[in-house]
Each structure stands twice: as C-alpha cells, then as structure tokens.
A = this chain, B = another copy of it.
C-alpha cells in the first residue's frame, strides 16, 4: 500500500519549526507495511492544499494530512479536505463535550471558533485527541484515496496515531490475520550502539520486524509481528524479544509506548513501599519534579531539598563545611554527605544526591562531570561518577535519568552500570 503525507503549516514552510511528525508517521506506517513514496509540506493556504491533495490522489492510496485542525482562521485543513471530497463537516459530541467542559471548568470565555475543533468529516470515523481538543478523522470514499487527518502538535499527534489511528488502519487494511506490536524500552545505550549490537537480528528481520527509535536519553524498539491470531503473533514477538535480550538485556527497563524511566522507578518505590528523598545541586529540583510526574508518588515521596549553593548544603543538609572545603562541591565525598544528610533529615529509606558541572567549569572540573550519591537503606552510602556532555540542560536531564536508573538498580539488586 502506498501512502502520501501532507504536512500543513506555514511555520514549517518558513522553517520556523522542523517537521518531526512526518518521520514518526512514516516509521509507524511502515509497521503496517504501508510505504510512503512522497511527503509534501504546504502552507496554510486553501488553494495550494487543494493542489497538493489533487497531486497526492494520483499517486497514493492513503493520504495523511498533518496539522491545521485547530481553532484559528489559518487552520483550514479539515475544511479544505471536506471541500476536496465534497463532504460536509459535522460535530463530534465527545470532542465538543470536552471543549465545553474545559471552558466551563476553567471559567474561560469560549469563542465560537473553539467549536471548530470538534468538527470531523461526515461518514468518517472521528479519532479521539487525548492531549488536546481538535478531533482527528479517518475517511473512506470509493472515489478518492482514504484520508487520515491528524493534528499538528506532536504531543497530540503521537497518542492519536498510536492509540487510535494505527489500530483502525490495521483493522481496515489487514485482510486476514492480526498485526501486533510490543515496545521495549532501553536506558543507558545509544541508538547506534544498540543497532550495531542487534545488526544480525535487524538484517534478518522479516516477521517480526524491529524498528529502533531514539527518544530523549533513551531508545525504544518496536517489535511488530503479523500472524493468523493474536496468540501466534505474541509467540513470534516473545521469541524475538528473547533474542534481543541476549544482546542488550542489561539496558532494558520496561515495556510500552507510555512507559518511562520515572514511571518505572516510581512504581518500584510504591510497590516496595520505599520512601525516597533527594538533595539536588546541579539538577536544582529536576529529579524530584520528574518523580513528581508519577501519579500516586506521594505515598513514598514527602519532599526534599534543592541545595544549589555550598551554604545551603551546609544549612539544609548539615553537610560538614570541611568536607566541601577539602574535597570540593563536585566530589564523591560531598555527594555522599548530601545523600546521607537528606536521608537523616527526613528519615527515608533512600536518598539520592546530585552535584556536578552543568555548564562552564567549576573547581577546575570539566563541564559534564557529575557525582550522584545514593544512601540506600542500611547500606553504606556511595557515589557514582558520570561524564556527560557540554549542554547545560541536557546534562541536567541526563543526570536525572542516571539517578533514576541508579535507584532502579539498587531496588532490584542489579549492578550499578556506569554510563559514560
């Protein structure tokens, strides 16, 4: 099957934003054996979108439009596609209720154009937008290629595509059998190293297929199998997963599109009823706020410390000023003293500490040098040294991920891998 992606947005055309949606859509369509031969970007312009649709209908069996489903006058994809196929737009009650409810609850004035986001093509299938208001749509009509309308914001597009559009396409296009996929998540190994270690498996892949995807600070592998039944597909995937684990199992931490390292660690903490706190210098609260994303974390997380300056390390954590004076702020000794201090202050089972050089240089230590300390139950407090990169915010994020993995490994009794 041949598809064509049309990304709609003047801001893409002007180069103000980079279109990361089209690659994602192409990758995920490929798991359904749908090939993309052309991708087009067109501005928020009715005439030129009509022309792009006209060209696409001659060379594709499925057209995917991205963007232009919002409430503003320059959002005209739905209206233009509807004109193109001579179909009218109708309101999706689920989407409309969400919009009405939001405005009522937040006491915001609702303008008439907000309702536009609830429109989809009559005779089409509305696709739920879990992270926004604009409803998507899948539309079939024997006279034109099938058309899939997706929203532009990536955080809206991805869940709609994965949860709603792909299963629908799989159902519509799979004549016999089922297509089933499983996502494995890895931390601590880069995409290129993972691909190298799995080179044989990737080269020989037919069914299941393996699709690697680098996310921020982690890599996922989507294994997709086609089979007569779901059970058979799962068996194929189980076999492939076992082969993968032999090669890179040390870096595996969990399953699923919506999982994350913080979710994994948060659940481990909650399930083990282990209370945690943190003393953060270079991360300035990023570890705690990341853990705070996990629903229910309050069962095991009462609070903690941001100790950015040496003085607050002493004042809030009772770190001995002589330790800092003798070893420096970015040192094993200070990291250990911070973790121990935090643990003692709040009487938790675990305390983690972060001290490092996010940017510039500190105490003649190069940027990217980070010590993470961990005080875990009655074990002796220890600290691990990391060498990250040169970008301030990335260094802070990488430190948080490394810290989460450290906690995970401690809880599971795994060796502490040092990621350089």
Query: Interface of A with B (CB < 8 Å)?
Result: 10-20, 22-28, 30, 36-43, 45, 48, 51-52, 55, 59, 70-73, 102, 105-109, 111, 113-114, 131, 153, 191-193, 195-196, 202, 211-214, 222, 257, 278, 280, 282-289, 291-293, 295, 297-298, 301-309, 311-313, 315-316, 346, 358-360, 366, 368, 387-393, 396, 420
A-B pairs with beta carbons under 8 Å apart, 12 shown: A16-B222, A38-B52, A70-B191, A106-B368, A106-B420, A107-B420, A111-B192, A111-B193, A282-B292, A285-B285, A298-B309, A303-B306
What residues of chain B lie closer than 8 Å to A346, measured between beta carbons? 312, 315
A39-B41 contact, Cβ under 8 Å, with A14-B30, A26-B13: yes
A15-B38 contact, Cβ under 8 Å, with A107-B387, A286-B292: no
Nearest Cβ distance between residue A391 and chain B, in whole angstroms? 8
Nearest Cβ distance between residue A169 and chain B, in whole angstroms? 16
Name the residue on B nearest A397 (C-beta): B289
Query: A42, A284, A286, A389 — which one has the most chain B CB atoms within 10 A of its CB?
Result: A284
Nearest Cβ distance between residue A345 and chain B, in whole angstroms? 8
Our pick among B105, B305, B390 for the contact of A305 (Cβ within 8 Å) is B305
Name the residue on B nearest A26 (C-beta): B15
> A11 touching B213 by the CB < 8 A rule?
yes
> B39 touching A40 by the CB < 8 A rule?
yes
> A389 touching B285 by the CB < 8 A rule?
no
> A13 touching B39 by the CB < 8 A rule?
yes
> B289 touching A285 by the CB < 8 A rule?
yes
A396-B303 contact, Cβ under 8 Å, with A72-B212, A420-B106: no
> B11 touching A15 by the CB < 8 A rule?
no
Nearest Cβ distance between residue A99 and chain B, in whole angstroms? 11
> How many angstroms from the CA of A392 to the CA of B30 in the assembled complex?
31
Our pick among B27, B59, B312 for the contact of A14 (Cβ within 8 Å) is B27
What residues of chain B lie closer than 8 Å to A192, measured between beta carbons? 70-72, 111, 113-114
Integer count of this chain's copies in the complex = 2
Nearest Cβ distance between residue A276 and chain B, in whole angstroms? 11
> B16 touching A18 by the CB < 8 A rule?
no
What residues of chain B lie closer than 8 Å to A309, measured between beta carbons? 298, 302-303
A306-B293 contact, Cβ under 8 Å, with A26-B13, A213-B11, A213-B16: no
> A36 touching B14 by the CB < 8 A rule?
yes
> How many angstroms from the CA of A40 to the CA of B55 in the assembled complex?
12
Nearest Cβ distance between residue A131 and chain B, in whole angstroms? 8
Nearest Cβ distance between residue A30 and chain B, in whole angstroms? 6
What residues of chain B lie closer than 8 Å to A287, measured between beta carbons? 285
> How many angstroms from the CA of A388 to the CA of B107 in the assembled complex?
10
> B70 touching A389 by the CB < 8 A rule?
no
What residues of chain B lie closer than 8 Å to A358, measured between beta carbons? 292
Interface contacts beyond A73-B195, A73-B202, A305-B306: sample of 13 additional A-B pairs, CB < 8 Å, sorted by A: A12-B23, A18-B18, A19-B19, A37-B48, A102-B389, A105-B387, A107-B387, A109-B193, A280-B285, A284-B291, A286-B292, A297-B308, A305-B305
> A298 touching B292 by the CB < 8 A rule?
no
> How many angstroms from the CA of A254 to the CA of B390 in the assembled complex?
27
> B388 touching A106 by the CB < 8 A rule?
yes
Nearest Cβ distance between residue A69 and chain B, in whole angstroms? 13
Name the residue on B nearest A220 (C-beta): B16
Nearest Cβ distance between residue A117 and chain B, in whole angstroms? 9
Nearest Cβ distance between residue A196 and chain B, in whole angstroms? 6
